[in-house]
Amino acid sequence: MSINAIKNISERLAKAGRELHEQGLVRRTIGNISAKIPSAPSGARMKFLKPEEMVLADLQGDKVRGESNVSLETPIYAALNRAQSDTQAVVHTHVPTATGFGFAKKEIRQLQVEMFTRLPNGVPVVPFELPGSEALAEIVQKKIMDHDAVILENQGVVTVGSTIEAAFTLNEMVEEVAKIQFLAMMLAGRHALNLAKLKEKFKTENTVK
């Protein structure tokens, strides 16, 4: 990858980090963003993230250059980039509502038509493993093969995308849908999550249109 390409990706990562903060999807130093090949430095505040602060790492998660340390969760991001050739970026946040679903061990369902189209298999919860462990990286890698978004039990939401912007947008979408599902569950209980009825409804509506 050329110096210009690294500079371009670094600038886009920095912009995405600032937008994550502005949208309220990250707080202080909690959360990470990465893309092939640069990644956000460990301990950096997204609000003040600069392109020159990026850390360059290889697909095994080992630092190639940069002043900061790689994130503790780098094994996950490296594993995800290795798992799918079309994965170019990974966004990891601790958005409150979707993270709460992880604590409760409840997957996010496709209650909206847009969600049904974008994430047809929903957003599953990955069982707890120690942060940064190979065990966690392995299970997330397997799950991401059928999902572009997963909830890490007690550790937030991970989304992947073909671009930095796509991974960012998907992370934002997961949190928004989590809020809607929470409200639906409060109002309609388990009846709001009848997947069979939702599939039939969306199929019927799409046919009519």
Residuewise pLDDT in 10s, the chain (209 residues): 445 666 677 777 777 777 777 777 666 556 666 675 544 444 555 555 666 766 777 777 777 676 677 778 788 878 887 776 678 888 899 999 999 999 999 999 877 777 777 888 889 999 999 988 889 989 998 898 888 999 999 989 999 998 888 988 999 999 999 998 898 888 877 666 665 666 676 665 544 33
Domain that holds residue 26: 3-208
Q: Do 83 and 139 form a contact (C-beta atoms < 8 A)?
A: no
CATH number at residue 74: 3.40.225.10
Phi-psi region of 93 (alpha: psi -120 to 50; beta: other; left: phi over 0): beta
Instruction: State the DSSP string of 35-48.
Output: ESSEEPPTT--GGG
Which pTM was predicted? 0.71
3-class state of residue 100 by DSSP: helix
Q: Are 150 and 140 in contact (CB under 8 A)?
A: yes
If one counts the domains in the chain, the total is 1
* Residue indicated by tokens 């989590």: 178
